Structure 1
Amino acid sequence: MVGGGQLARMTHQAAVALGQTLRVLAASPDDPAAQVTPDVVIGSHTDADALARAAAGASALTFDHEHVPTDLLQALVDRGVNVAPPPHALVHAQDKLVMRRRLEALGAPIPRYVEVTAPTDVDAFAAQIDGPIVVKTARGGYDGRGVTLAKDLAEARAVTERYLADGTAVLLEERVDMRRELSALVARSPFGQGAAWPVVQTVQRDGICVEVIAPAPDLDPELGAEAEQLGLRLAGELGVVGVLAVELFETADGKLLVNELAMRPHNSGHWTMNGAVTSQFEQHLRAVLDYPLGATGLIAPVTVMANVLGAPQAPEMSMDERLHHLFARLPEASVHLYGKSERPGRKIGHVNVLGAASGSLEDADYVAEVRERATRAAHWLSHGEWTDGWDEHGR
């Protein structure tokens, strides 16, 4: 697996259960995956020699991020390396312009967009859509980076000019009038087998996913089925091997638009580690190794994942002590920490909380209660303080 981050770390856990050895190409011995797997290659994902060393003798080469240059991957394919997903598919997760054009050609629902080659294109697009604009870099954006929700036309022009001056490819999109964001997570094997998990709701703050509710509550069944089928269709049309996350907007008028694609395990699928029969990490390995795919059914009526994000200032209390207090108060919380140092806004782990089997997704109070426990647990781990004011020492 190219990349030594938390996705590789959690994929390593799944590999152990399958009797596999996961080698990781990590930038540093301190990377989350390099801390736990015995087979580590230190090097850059843009270094052809490092990629070749990582791929040597492997059954498959896969990724925990999309940033490997496709020309380097194609060179590996030409030498007989099983790259999964293949570079002709992965490029759609690397380049937003390539992705938008391909989705448009496939008739998939997308926001209105335009490629920008000069600042005057901003005014022309604004006149066309008659609404607010989102400015995006075609490559490299992640967790809100490379995406600007322009507050007005002047800001859209200024941001566009700055990107173009840096030699960055830019596209503009209409800002969608949306009800919420959803994610359709699917997997596809080289054999062509597909599997889909229930569609989930994602909650974003400052461009970063902070919470996932699985399945998405109050989702029209037909719209949910449409999202799952869209994910499976795109996986097949693009030639994806492994997990594909299709990030979606549910519009205010009840339609779906594709926002982003990710061809790897994804933050919106972390809930599957405890809330689904087969986790996204095991499924990704099953897919790239061409095993039959696992069942994607739910373990509980609802599972909520809350990201543990570094606080503005790390608590004086150690993480070990925070875990002690969390488990004493919320023993049902499943904690997944990534071995990262704490810094503001950094994803250092996540918490999964399952609702009681007797509950119902249609019960708003039930869903709200599970959400509250998950977000309370995550906030405690990041800040060392309880959102409900509870004193862990009984003072």
Structure 2
Amino acid sequence: MALRVGVIGGGQLARMMIAPAVELGIDIRVLAEDQGMSAQLAATAVGDYRDLDTVRRFAADVDVVTFDHEHVPQDVLRALVADGVAVHPGPDALRFAQDKLDMRARLAELDVPQPEWARVADAGELQRFLDAHGGRGVVKTPRGGYDGKGVRVVSAAAEAEDWFAGLAGGDALLVEELVPFVRELAQQVARRPSGDLAAYPVVETVQRDGVCAEVVAPAPGVDAEHAAEAARIGREIAEGLGVTGMLAVELFQTEDGRILVNELAMRPHNSGHWSQDGAVTGQFEQHLRAVADLPLGDTRPIAPWSVMINVLGGPADAGMLDRVPAALAASPGAKVHTYGKAPRPGRKVGHVNVAGADLEEALRRARSAAAAFD
């Protein structure tokens, strides 16, 4: 009987697990939030991932449960584990991707390099932190933020008053120092339940309006020391938090040469899309291997450079698929990936990968193909 992997969440990450699952002989099943989502080809159930009965029914028909996102509540996850369901990553690890305050506290225990931070429950605490850190800071909602949402750079505590007003009793916000970074990096690591790890090359990510726009692998100009430090950080976090599956560690490279942890994701991640066409084993196949406790794949690049360009927003006339021929014609060597999503401003609706021997040429070809969707 085929191994049955259940993915909670019907977005583009679940969609991109389908092809490698078929190739590996894995029976992939998806619990989608609604009809017509990106991963509808593998959707065997539609329902609320926050409802225990819905998730239990879905999990009863698979051998292992994994995720397209980190939003499944802890009580649901722990009920599945109590039922004997294999859940990867498990709730003890996933909570550090769900709550940024928990993440910062645990990384401090592990002595992982990160920005200075504090838990602030009111405007007075926030202002004291700002006063001690040059008058500016980054305030984050601990839960639910992504792609720049739930993040504010502030110069006064009053700029977060609405967030404080919305806090429930005992809750708090996270404030971090405003890091003087020269660029953003990302390190991906895969880890099996049996403990084996595999690290990908560290990459450079380019953000626009809080959303990842481009990724270059490996990070241009990264020296051996910084590459080794990024891989070490990724491995220490994966082991220290007990992550199973793919782990993405978003990083700052600072003006004084430090590597600091910004965010974590315990699933395939935008910073790893390049690996679909630029590495021996792409991140979606690797995630399936890891959660199924299969031998991990080779993470080496297949070319000196790989470039990923996100298609953000898409065509105003919603004719996404109508633009694919133009994208292919603009750059025949490009690999175009569409998400089956209706275009709207700022939304990730696809991406383009190009691998090659020359970085500038790879960037030109990838941007040319992506521009066909404007």
CA shift, 1:221, in A, is: 0.9
Instruction: Give the letter for the 2:202 counterpart.
Output: V
Is the Cα–Cα contact under 8 Å of residues 160 and 170 in structure 1 kept in the other structure? no
Structural mapping, 1:9-20, within 5 Å = 9-20=15-26
SS at match of 1:99: helix
CA shift, 1:256, in A, is: 0.5
What is the distance in 2 between the residues matched to 1:248 and 1:301? 22
1:119–1:237: structure 2 CA closer, same or farther, 3 Å change rule? same
CA shift, 1:57, in A, is: 2.8
Is the Cα–Cα contact under 8 Å of residues 116 and 171 in structure 1 kept in the other structure? yes
Which residue matches 2:353? 352
Question: Structure 1: which 5+ runs fail to align?
Answer: 360-365, 384-395
Q: Is 2:373 aligned against 1:372?
A: no
SS at match of 1:62: strand
Higher fraction of strand:
2
Which residue matches 1:314? 316
Count of paired positions? 365
Is the Cα–Cα contact under 8 Å of residues 247 and 261 in structure 1 kept in the other structure? yes
Q: Is 2:111 aligned against 1:116?
A: no
Instruction: Give the letter for the 1:272 counterpart.
Output: S
Which residue matches 1:162? 162
Which residue matches 1:195? 198
Could you tell me which of 279, 286, 289 is aligned with 2:289? 286
Which residue matches 1:338? 339
Instruction: Give the letter for the 1:10 counterpart.
Output: M
CA shift, 1:122, in A, is: 1.7
Which residue matches 2:3? none
Deviations 1:169-206 (A, max 9, x none): 31111110001000000100011000001000000011
Could you tell me which of 84, 90, 108 is aligned with 2:88? 84
SS at match of 1:190: coil
Q: Is 2:177 aligned against 1:171?
A: no
Which residue matches 2:32? 26
Could you tell me which of 100, 123, 142 is aligned with 1:138? 142
Instruction: Give the letter for the 2:266 counterpart.
Output: M
**What fraction of aligned residue pairs are identical, expressed as a percent?**
53
What is the distance in 2 between the residues matched to 1:328 and 1:32? 25
Which residue matches 1:391? none
CA shift, 1:131, in A, is: 4.3
What is the distance in 2 between the residues matched to 1:136 and 1:159? 12
Structural mapping, 1:260-299, within 5 Å = 260-299=263-302
Is the Cα–Cα contact under 8 Å of residues 41 and 53 in structure 1 kept in the other structure? no
CA shift, 1:295, in A, is: 0.3
Could you tell me which of 188, 198, 209 is aligned with 1:185? 188
What is the distance in 2 between the residues matched to 1:46 and 1:13? 27
1:277–1:122: structure 2 CA closer, same or farther, 3 Å change rule? same
Q: Is 2:67 aligned against 1:63?
A: yes
Using structure 1 for the length normalisation, give the TM-score: 0.90
Structural mapping, 1:231-270, within 5 Å = 231-270=234-273
CA shift, 1:160, in A, is: 2.3
What is the distance in 2 between the residues matched to 1:54 and 1:194? 29
Using structure 2 for the length normalisation, give the TM-score: 0.95
SS at match of 1:22: strand
Is the Cα–Cα contact under 8 Å of residues 280 and 301 in structure 2 kept in the other structure? yes
Is the Cα–Cα contact under 8 Å of residues 2 and 61 in structure 1 kept in the other structure? yes
Regions of 4+ moved over 6 Å: none
CA shift, 1:85, in A, is: 0.4
CA shift, 1:27, in A, is: 1.1
What is the distance in 2 between the residues matched to 1:132 and 1:379? 37
What is the distance in 1 between the residues matched to 2:118 and 2:28? 41
CA shift, 1:341, in A, is: 0.8
Is the Cα–Cα contact under 8 Å of residues 25 and 50 in structure 1 kept in the other structure? no
Is the Cα–Cα contact under 8 Å of residues 202 and 211 in structure 1 kept in the other structure? yes
What RMSD, in angstroms, separates the aligned Cα atoms of the two structures?
A: 1.3
Is the Cα–Cα contact under 8 Å of residues 326 and 372 in structure 2 kept in the other structure? no
Deviations 1:118-137 (A, max 9, x none): 11112210122124211100
CA shift, 1:159, in A, is: 3.6
What is the distance in 2 between the residues matched to 1:149 and 1:369? 36
Is the Cα–Cα contact under 8 Å of residues 183 and 201 in structure 1 kept in the other structure? yes
SS at match of 2:234: helix
CA shift, 1:315, in A, is: 4.2
What is the distance in 1 between the residues matched to 2:159 and 2:10? 32
